[in-house]
Amino acid sequence: MPRLCACVAEARIVEVHSPKPENRIGTYPHWTLDAWKPGVPGRIEHIYTHWSAHDYGSVFPAYHFCVAMLPSGTIVVVNTHDVRENMRDVYEGPALPYAQHTRNRNSFALGIAVMAMEGATPFDFGRFPLTEELVDAVCSVGARLAAFYDVPVDADHVMSHAEAALRDGYFGTGKEQRWDVARLTPSPKALVEREALEVGDELRARMCRPA
């Protein structure tokens, strides 16, 4: 089975203070949120939003753009994967490298992710919870990418991993299931499918908000 995005609770634990090079912000081009803008033209038709299920500072090349937080609290955008590798039908040449962010949906598709939610459940978001600022940041990244690549910000083109999982039959909190980004604040309520769609709508609305 191909390696999917890191947004999985059972993925290896990355040390916060001494991550591997591939998980270090400094390994990749990175910018403050305000300074970052898309710059590589090409064919992109879909954008998928994730969380990493790790800490705020470890980044992952399974996504193209990671929204991370420095120890100072500054939010940065980290370009962890070359977007050009997904500007093709990746399933026609699966041996060539590409970012494997969303199962069976990686052709002409970008993966963006908030670095957060290690050990989170729908009821308890753990030590690295989503914050309003981080959610706004990933929505800002999504908005800028959608504008640059002319991707409509609607439920068929810009969706969360949870929405893709819902369509493809693996939504949920189980081991092989995904629920990023189906809830923005922890709640004792059971996670239901409708919530994935409602939060997807909210993320898209936030992407459409004037900067």
State yes or no: residue 54 binds Zn ion (CB under 5 A): no
State yes or no: residue 81 binds Zn ion (CB under 5 A): no
The least distance separating Zn ion from the CB of residue 110, rounded to whole angstroms, comes to 13
The least distance separating Zn ion from the CB of residue 37, rounded to whole angstroms, comes to 24
Pick one of 50, 54, 81, 204: the residue that binds Zn ion (CB under 5 A): 50
State yes or no: residue 203 binds Zn ion (CB under 5 A): no
Nearer residue to Zn ion within complex by CB, 149 or 171 = 171
* Strands lying side by side in the sheet with 75-79: 30-32, 75-79, 65-69, 109-114, 46-51, 158-160
State yes or no: residue 64 binds Zn ion (CB under 5 A): no
State yes or no: residue 5 binds Zn ion (CB under 5 A): yes
**Per rule CB under 5 A, count of chain residues that contact Zn ion:** 5
Stretch that binds Zn ion, among 1-9, 27-35, 144-152, 182-190 (CB under 5 A): 1-9
Nearer residue to Zn ion within complex by CB, 44 or 159 = 159
State yes or no: residue 158 binds Zn ion (CB under 5 A): no
State yes or no: residue 109 binds Zn ion (CB under 5 A): no
State yes or no: residue 161 binds Zn ion (CB under 5 A): yes
State yes or no: residue 180 binds Zn ion (CB under 5 A): yes
Residues contributing to the site for Zn ion (CB under 5 A)? 5, 7, 50, 161, 180
